[in-house]
């Protein structure tokens, strides 16, 4: 289910920022003493998502960048549209949805 993949991508983003593998992107340090609850992401699950994102970046560089902006950098759709040069917020949402569906299919097919 796509919502499960979105949750896994969110947890992956937190995992990367906390010091996991960064796919060539610099991670962001979490604020010390933060009271925000972060999704739990076991390393094996995070690495599965990491591999799927890496595969997407090889297949479609723009969609890969958009996933990284959304889940790792936590950019808004408006900022993603501007940074990725895709024109509009709606187009960014469309591309992000396609990227999420592609990653969902990869994660599902890999077991």
pLDDT digits (tens, 9 = 90+) for 75-90: 999 999 999 999 999 9
87 backbone φψ class: left, alpha, beta (φ>0; ψ -120 to 50)? left
| pLDDT at site 24 | 43
Q: What whole-number distance in Å separates Cα of residue 16 and Cα of residue 69? A: 13
Residue 24 backbone phi and psi in degrees, to 5:
80, 0
Domain ranges of the chain: 2-14+42-109
pLDDT bucket at 71, cuts 50 / 70 / 90 = very high
Angle between helices 77-84 and 89-109 (to 10 degrees): 90
The pLDDT tens digits for 22-32 are 444 443 344 44
């Amino acid at each position: 289910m796509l919502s499960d993949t979105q949750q896994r991508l969110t947890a992956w983003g937190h995992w990367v920022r906390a010091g996991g593998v960064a796919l060539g992107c610099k991670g962001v340090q979490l604020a010390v003493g933060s009271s925000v609850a972060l999704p739990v992401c076991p390393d094996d699950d995070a690495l599965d998502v990491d591999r799927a994102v890496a595969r997407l970046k090889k297949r479609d560089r723009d969609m890969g960048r958009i996933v990284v902006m959304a889940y790792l950098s936590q950019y808004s759709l408006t900022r993603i549209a501007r940074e990725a040069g895709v024109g509009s917020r709606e187009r960014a949402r469309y591309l992000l949805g396609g990227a999420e569906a592609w990653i969902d299919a990869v994660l599902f097919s890999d077991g």
